A and B are shown apart, each in its own frame.
Chain A
């Protein structure tokens, strides 16, 4: 199916991107704004998330309850979250109600009430969410890993901190919203079954009067190696491990991502085969590519009962390092099949597509087509992957474990 990216920029700077998927009954949009946790002042960790939550508790002509009822009436599936660099709001619905759905989003983004009466309730919700992560050691392990690896500013959790959440005041939410919820530097990505011209005129009338220029770019991210252990009375030791790699914006990204795919995607991947299938050490083991602007990492996870945790860590690291000894042509061919299939299946979901378009635009400043991604993947060879591995060997290791005992780890300092 021919793929075409539709583009428009409103006078206020808001970038509108669209991809028509006329074979679907649905339509979806993703609004991405540059208000991430890295913009929070020190001591106010959690401000970005709390601001996003509060902005949805009454906006425009609608009260908090009316917003929820309106979206339920329209049958809208929605989600919103903050990350290190962005605030994201996504909604998906039947194509026939796309415009009224956008109307609700436009109110939330442009005219939130920030009612004093809702602050304490929103704060309590955020505190509960933060506390609940303590009962999910795997998730907590990653939260700690990011904190250790990316530091106080870029390693902040979207959940915030206890002290930060308790300190946030209402006017700080209002200011955060005013500073970062602006059309300049934001993107609205739409995908699904719609008429582009008609949609644009609706968007123009909903978002045209919004104003605000882009905020200055945050500084570069630097990753730090390190090792940390959190004592926990658990059955398993949870291992979160990270090492340096290339970010999404790097010309060599697909090589780095290809290696991660060989390590972790699918049941024939190396980590699954070596750690789980051959040795039965774990139920869950994985690696994934992670990008924070200019900073690329590979993040790995393994969970295993404590007496086998040291062995699990060693087999995991050895398996990663063994990439230097070569890649089998069959492994590469499986990687190519997987990517091809997932690109075809991406056409089955307007929500997935709109979120990919928004992410690409914010991260790369452009949106690669399926054809372009396929060409990148087809261009990969076993030699180019191994060569990439040699020129970007795993180093800058960060390790966080949660469990009854700390593990020995000699890679932290040596490259």
Chain B
């Protein structure tokens, strides 16, 4: 396994984790842009743009693009989050050049108005689809409630209103600003010919010019609140609680991830034994989300509406139990083994390595091999996890609950 890195004259970075023995390679453009980079009037533009990227370039129609993706036998897709937009393909190594050619071309889409209007309907369908899934609504609302005026409050999909009102011109302006080569990173993993990759990318992007890009970074203003939403067709109650956690650059994140696993992994954790295993809740988990300037420690509960209050009290009790019931060596060992094995198993596919390498580079400009990544968890001490556990007691909390009727949360 070898790591290579190169910056082209136009500012485009290329990174790769090369495994000459791999059966396939994965290739992706990681764009440093997402919903947090949108002003409120264009909320949803990053995600809408991700769809439009597949709708054609000056030399390829939308149908050409789709056909070529399939011609290469590729497994390809894209996603948009709060902080990044990623386009990726997994192909056989002999298709490296064709895959690169297509993906690079896609980064300069035509954004034709007719396609824009049709695709707007698809996005509105996607919003409607999630509207019919109450847990998703709870998640979006919890982000808004926790982040308030902070850019991370912006919904990735936007709203029906902002997407309907969005113009192709506004999208073009956003693209010009955010898809500059210095705001992109080309990432590869698996059986990659790195020298050819660099050479051919340089040829294909020689006319791209860098632009000054900016991302507003600020810590969120912390507060406590509780919101209850009614979604009459829902049958279950879904509750989320967010409190502060370490950000993506903070070494403390390994400690908190281990803590979240011990307290609320979906199997074998304290909440699992206290609620899920007893048949009291469909799901009761804790997890971490990390962003550039902050992070979240999240709790998620899905259960019958009439059991919500009692379950919530049980969760609060488990999370406040640090002094009476400290983390044990055994719990720490199990959590570390789980994380380590999961990472090694996942790393067997280049398509999984692509995201680890790409995310690490985009957020920290740092490469970590699988071994280094697992060692970061092995180093976590019992004292560190216990201390993080004890700190949970003072956390400010934002809670959002969605269910069929009001009065199920207190």
Contact = CB atoms under 8 A, between A and B. Distances in A.
A371 interface: no
Given A69-B334, A135-B235, A337-B71, A236 B125 contact: yes
B70 A68 contact: no
A340 B24 CA distance: 12
A77 B91 contact: no
A62 B393 CA distance: 35
Interface string B357-381: 0000000000000000000000000
Contacts of B260: none
B40 interface: no
B75 A26 contact: no
A366 interface: no
Contacts, number: 190
A137 interface: yes
A387 interface: no
A16 to B, nearest CB: 23
Q: Main SS of the interface on chain A?
A: helix
Interface string A261-282: 0000111110011001111111
Contacts of B54: 267
Contacts of A334: 67, 70-71, 73
A349 B280 CA distance: 35
23 contacts: A24-B348, A26-B344, A26-B345, A64-B277, A75-B341, A125-B282, A126-B279, A131-B235, A131-B236, A135-B235, A266-B69, A266-B70, A267-B70, A268-B70, A269-B70, A276-B122, A280-B122, A284-B129, A339-B73, A340-B73, A344-B24, A344-B92, A349-B349
A177 to B, nearest CB: 20
Interface stretch (B113-121, B142-150, B244-252): B113-121
A324 interface: no
Interface in A119-161: 120-129, 131-132, 134-138
B74 interface: yes
A78 to B, nearest CB: 9
User: Most chain-B Cβ atoms within 10 A of its Cβ — which of A93, A280, A304?
Assistant: A280
Given A72-B338, A235-B131, 18 more contacts: A24-B348, A73-B337, A77-B342, A125-B276, A126-B279, A135-B234, A135-B235, A137-B132, A236-B125, A268-B63, A273-B66, A280-B117, A283-B122, A305-B128, A330-B71, A334-B71, A341-B91, A348-B350
A341 B67 contact: no
A27 to B, nearest CB: 10
B156 to A, nearest CB: 14
B27 to A, nearest CB: 14
A283 B51 CA distance: 11
Contacts of B91: 341
A77 B345 contact: yes
A25 to B, nearest CB: 6
Interface in A99-120: 120
A345 B75 contact: yes
A72 B24 contact: no
Nearest to A235: B128
B131 A94 contact: no
Interface residues of A, number: 75
Q: Main SS of the interface on chain B?
A: helix
Interface string B340-354: 111011001110000
B284 to A, nearest CB: 11
B334 A128 contact: no
A101 to B, nearest CB: 11
B273 interface: yes
B69 A236 contact: no
A338 interface: yes
Given A124-B280, A128-B279, A282-B125, A345 B67 contact: no
A272 B334 contact: no
Given A121-B277, A128-B303, A132-B236, A268 B268 contact: no
A75 B342 contact: yes
A303 B235 contact: no
B24 A348 contact: yes
Given A24-B348, A232-B233, A233-B233, A338 B70 contact: yes
B401 to A, nearest CB: 14
Interface in B266-285: 267-268, 272-273, 276-282
